Amino acid sequence: MRQCCFYCLGLAAVLLLLAGIVLVLSGVFPRFLQSRVKKEVVLKNATDAFEAWEDPPAQIYMQFYFFNVTNPLEVLDGERPAVVEVGPYTYREYRPMEEVTFQANGTRVAAVNTKTYIFQPEMSRGPESDPIRTLNIPAVTVMERFRKSWEAELISPYMRSLGVGLFTTRTVGELLWGYEDSLLRVAKKFWPQLDDVFGLFYKSNASNDGRYVFFTGEQDYRDFARVDTWNGESSLAWWSTDECNMINGTTGASFHPVVTKGEKLYMFSSDLCRSLYAVYEEDVTVKGIAAYRFSPPSEVFANTTANAGFCVPPGNCPGSGLLDVRVCKSGAPIVMSSPHFYQAEEKFKEAVFGMRPDKQLHQTAIDIHPLTGVVLQAAKRLQINVHVEKIPHYSQTGNVRTLVFPVVYLNESALIQDAAARKLRAVVTVQQVVVQVPFMLMGLGFLLGLVFTVLVCRHRTPQHTPPESTAAERQPLLSS
C-alpha cells in the first residue's frame, strides 16, 4: 500500500507538470477567457457593455485654448503674427446616446449622440466673458467667397463702413457658441446657405451631429460599436476618392474587445469630416489597470499619395500635418491640425510666433483595456486654423502673409470613474487567476516531484548499524 501511494505521488507530479506545460503552450485558458468576453461584449439591453456605450462611465471635459493676437497692425504690414495661448476654458461634457432603437434582429442599433456642455469656472482661466482678439473668421469667409472684382468692389466699402477688418475682439462665449454678425447678415442675401450667426461650435451645445447606425457585435466581435451609416449614408461625399470617403471604425468612444498591439483602430470623426486610425504606442497603467496606448501616427495627415483624396480640388494639399475641411464647413477656409502644429511641417510652426508643440500636451491618445476594449483614458486634441492670404480688391487684408493662422485648440479628455475602475479591476483579477492556472498546476507538479525525489533518496540510503563486538570484548576483565 505504501509503495502504491509512493509511485502514485510520482505519477501525479509528472502528470501535473505535463498538463501545465501543455496548457501554457496551447493557451487554452486565455482563449477561453477571450471567447467569453467576445460573446458578452455585445450591444444589447441589460448588459454592462450596452450601459457603458449608452452612458459612458467616464468624466468627460472639453477644454478650449485660444490664441490671442498681440500684433494685429504688424500682421497687416506683412510681419509674422505673434500669439499668446489663453486658457483653458473648461466645460463638463455629457454625451449620452438617445433615441436608441435596435434594428435587423439585434445586429444593429440606431442612436443620436447628444452633447451638452456646462461651463466649469473653477477649472477655467477666467469667465466666458473674457475678451479674445483673433482672426475675424466671418470676414475672411465672405472675402474668400466673393473674390471677384465686381462683388469685392461692393462688399469692401461696406466692410469699411461697418469697421469690419481682418481681426476682431469677441468674448470666449461669443466665439464658441455664436453671435450675430452684420456682415454675414448682408452676405446671406447673396449666399442663402450662410447663417447670420457665427460661432466655432454654434448649434453644437445640447445638440447632436446626426443619426448613427452601429453594429452591435452580435455577428462578429470586431464589429462592436462600428459605424454602419451616418445620417443615412454609408460613405461621405466630400473627398475625391472612394477610399477617403469611407466611414470606418467606431466614433472613438468604444472599441471591440480583445485588442491586439498589431492592429489599427479606425475611428470616424464628424469634426474632421473623415475617418482616421490609431496604432499601438506603448503600455500604460490607468488607476491600477494595465492598458495599451494608441495614437494617430504622423502618416494619417501626411502629404502623401494615400491622402491625395483629401486634397480638394485635386492637388490643393495644405501640407503634411494639416487637413483643409472647407468642403464640409460651408466654404469657410478652415484648416484642422494638431495643437501648435504638432506633427506638422516645420514651416507652419515657424510662420507664427508662439507655437511650441509638445507631445505630452498636444498628442491625441487613447488608453484601452485590451481584453474588454474599455476606454480607460482618452485625450482628443484638435486645432482650428484659418487659411489667410492677401485678397485683391480687399484693403482689409493689407499686406498679410499667406499662412495658416491658429485660432483655438481643444482638448476633449475622458477618465474612467473610480466605481467603473473597481469593477474592471475585479475582471482583471479573474483574468489573472484564470491565466495563472496552468502555472499553478506546474508549480504543484514541481512541488510533488520534489517530495517524490526526497522520498526516493531516503528509501535508497542504507541504514547505519554499529559493528558486533567480539567474544573477547564481551568477557569481563579479570582483576590482576
Judgement on whether residues 273 and 335 belong to the same structural domain of the protein:
yes
pLDDT for position 478: 42
Task: Say which range, 103-107, 334-338, 349-353, 364-368, has the weakest mean pLDDT.
Answer: 103-107
What's the sign of the alpha-carbon dihedral 63, 375, 53, 275? Answer: positive
Instruction: For residue 140, give the nearest of 125, 155, 129 by alpha carbon.
Output: 155
H or E segment and range at residue 213: strand 211-215
Q: How many domains does the chain have?
A: 2
The per-residue pLDDT of the chain, averaged, comes to: 87
Judgement on whether residues 387 and 355 belong to the same structural domain of the protein:
yes
Judgement on whether residues 6 and 136 belong to the same structural domain of the protein:
no
343's grid cell: 506633427
Judgement on whether residues 447 and 385 belong to the same structural domain of the protein:
no
At residue 13 the predicted structure's pLDDT band, cuts being 50, 70 and 90, is low
Over residues 378-393, the mean pLDDT reads 95
At 129, is the secondary structure helix, strand, or coil?
Answer: coil
Structural domain including 441 reads 1-35+431-452
pLDDT by residue (tens digit) across 272-324? 999 999 999 999 999 999 999 999 999 999 988 888 899 988 888 889 999 99
- Length of the chain as a residue count: 480
Percentage of the chain surpassing pLDDT 70? Answer: 83
Return d(Cα 174, Cα 164) in angstroms, integer.
17
| pLDDT top residue among 130 and 154 | 130
465, part of any domain: no
pLDDT for position 477: 44
Judgement on whether residues 291 and 364 belong to the same structural domain of the protein:
yes
pLDDT of 32 over the 70 cut: no
pLDDT by residue (tens digit) across 343-375? 999 999 999 999 999 999 999 999 999 989 999
pTM for this prediction: 0.85
Contact 101, 114 (CB under 8 A): no
Residue 445, number of CB atoms within 10 A of its CB: 20
Return d(Cα 352, Cα 365) in angstroms, integer.
26
Task: Say which range, 83-97, 186-200, 332-346, 348-362, has the weakest mean pLDDT.
Answer: 186-200
Tell which of 416, 442, 472 closes a domain: 416
376, part of any domain: yes
Cis peptide bond prior to 313, omega within 30° of 0:
yes
204, part of any domain: yes
285's grid cell: 497603467
Contact 369, 424 (CB under 8 A): yes
Contact 120, 128 (CB under 8 A): no
Judgement on whether residues 171 and 248 belong to the same structural domain of the protein:
yes
Judgement on whether residues 338 and 390 belong to the same structural domain of the protein:
yes
At residue 480 the predicted structure's pLDDT band, cuts being 50, 70 and 90, is very low
Return d(Cα 47, Cα 78) in angstroms, integer.
60
DSSP 443-461: HHHHHHHHHHHHHHHHHHS
pLDDT of 403 over the 90 cut: yes
pLDDT by residue (tens digit) across 120-133? 999 999 999 999 99
pLDDT for position 103: 92
> What backbone phi and psi angles, to 5 degrees, belong to 475?
-70, 140
pLDDT of 449 over the 80 cut: no
Residue type, 299: E
21's grid cell: 506545460
Please give the sequence-ordered ranges of beta strands (E in DSSP) within 264-388, or none if there are none: 265-269, 274-286, 289-295, 322-324, 334-337, 365-368, 375-388
Judgement on whether residues 400 and 442 belong to the same structural domain of the protein:
no
pLDDT for position 94: 94
Judgement on whether residues 406 and 445 belong to the same structural domain of the protein:
no
Over residues 369-384, the mean pLDDT reads 94
105, part of any domain: yes
pLDDT of 196 over the 80 cut: yes
pLDDT for position 147: 85
Over residues 316-339, the mean pLDDT reads 91
Judgement on whether residues 242 and 135 belong to the same structural domain of the protein:
yes
Residues forming beta bridges with residue 212, ordered by sequence position: 111, 230
pLDDT by residue (tens digit) across 211-236? 999 999 999 999 999 999 999 999 99
pLDDT of 444 over the 90 cut: no
Judgement on whether residues 340 and 226 belong to the same structural domain of the protein:
yes
Over residues 26-44, the mean pLDDT reads 75
157, part of any domain: yes
pLDDT for position 329: 87
> Residue 235 has what DSSP assignment?
B
Q: Are strands 116-119 and 108-113 parallel, antiparallel or unpaired?
A: unpaired
pLDDT of 8 over the 90 cut: no
Task: Say which range, 23-27, 226-230, 277-281, 338-342, has the weakest mean pLDDT.
Answer: 23-27
Contact 347, 386 (CB under 8 A): no
354, part of any domain: yes
pLDDT of 184 over the 70 cut: yes
Contact 242, 61 (CB under 8 A): no
140, part of any domain: yes
pLDDT for position 450: 65
Judgement on whether residues 107 and 237 belong to the same structural domain of the protein:
yes
Percentage of the chain surpassing pLDDT 90? Answer: 63
pLDDT for position 242: 93
